[in-house]
């Protein structure tokens, strides 16, 4: 299985800078075209890692405890906050490098990474606003908005509510909720987000986020005005 692990890692690395252990597991299983027990994969991966690191494989677990955001960060604020339900998904999006470019911050419902959550709390309490995009799999049966780390901040500060948008698949226990899962690959429910090829998952979130986050008016295309005497931004 070592050759399959290296081949799948190289294939993932060609599409995204970093990936999780379970991204790699599901990649090996897809390549095998038959069931692969996760315990067998983990045993093979541990043996393979004794030979040396695998480029792109995120350490498990990835520690954020010693990282701190300086107070200079308070001059900035994201356009939106991506909320996920597993620390490994946080690691994946941070490692993808797509988040800073899109000005999205990613946090987990367990309150990690703590420095990022603290930064967002300071911003919300100072009057900053950003919608929260919730990414989850099809097994989700309840929403975490009542107890996730950001839920009460704006209510406590100004009596306002944070705007939430659901980016997940239809959960088993929330009929009537409105979802759009057509952009995710395949036509079967996904019960583990790490099963989706990581580059496709990141791309899905970025496309959906662009629909929610207002664009920068300074980046609108330029066109000649009616008199043809100058350039103006298209409305």
| Architecture in CATH for domain 71-212 | 3-Layer(aba) Sandwich (3.40)
pLDDT at residue 19 in the model: 95
Q: Is the pLDDT of residue 60 over 50?
A: yes
Which residue's entry shows tokens 């207002």? 214
- Average pLDDT estimate for 43-69: 84
Q: Would you place residue 180 in the very low, low, confident or very high pLDDT band (cuts 50, 70, 90)?
A: very low
pLDDT class for 132, splitting at 50, 70, 90? confident
What is the CA 177 to chain-centroid distance, rounded? Answer: 21
With 80 as the cut, is the pLDDT of residue 222 above it? Answer: no
Cis peptide before 107 (omega within 30 of 0): no
Q: What is the pLDDT of residue 5?
A: 95
> Do 35 and 106 meet the contact criterion of CB atoms below 8 Å apart?
no
Q: How many CB atoms lie within 10 A of CB 112?
A: 19
Residue 8 has pLDDT above 90, yes or no: yes
Nearest to 213 by CA among 64, 78, 24, 15: 78
CA distances from 188 to 69, 100, 170, 181, 199 (A): 40, 31, 11, 10, 18
Give the helix ranges, DSSP H, for the chain.
2-13, 21-32, 38-49, 87-96, 98-102, 114-125, 153-158, 198-212
How many angstroms separate the CA atoms of 1 and 7, rounded? 10
pTM of the shown model: 0.80
Q: Name the least confident of 8-17, 74-83, 129-138, 164-173.
A: 164-173
Is the separation of the CB atoms in 113 and 90 below 8 Å? Answer: yes
In angstroms, the CA 163 to CA 186 distance is 29
In angstroms, the CA 102 to CA 210 distance is: 9
């Amino acid at each position: 299985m070592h050759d399959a692990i290296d081949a799948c890692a190289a294939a993932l690395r060609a599409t995204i800078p970093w990936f999780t252990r379970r991204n790699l597991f599901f990649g090996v299983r897809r390549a095998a075209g038959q069931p692969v027990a996760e315990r067998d994969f983990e045993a093979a991966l541990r043996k393979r890692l004794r030979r040396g690191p695998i480029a792109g494989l995120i350490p498990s677990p990835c520690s954020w405890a010693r990282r701190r955001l300086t107070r200079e960060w308070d001059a900035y604020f994201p356009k939106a906050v991506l909320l996920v339900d597993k620390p490994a998904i946080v690691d994946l999006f941070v490692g993808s490098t797509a988040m800073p470019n899109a000005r999205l911050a990613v946090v987990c419902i367990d309150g990690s990474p703590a420095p990022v959550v603290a930064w967002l709390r300071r911003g919300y309490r100072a009057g900053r606003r950003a919608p929260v995009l919730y990414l989850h799999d099809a097994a989700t049966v309840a929403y975490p908005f009542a107890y996730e780390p950001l839920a009460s901040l704006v209510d406590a500060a100004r009596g306002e509510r944070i705007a939430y948008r659901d980016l997940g698949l239809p959960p088993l226990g929330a009929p009537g909720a409105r979802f759009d899962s057509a952009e995710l690959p395949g036509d079967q429910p996904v019960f583990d987000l790490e099963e989706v090829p990581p580059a496709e998952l990141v791309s899905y979130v970025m496309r959906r986020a662009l629909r929610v986050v207002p664009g920068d008016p300074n980046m609108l295309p330029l066109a000649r005005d009616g008199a043809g005497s100058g350039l103006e931004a298209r409305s």
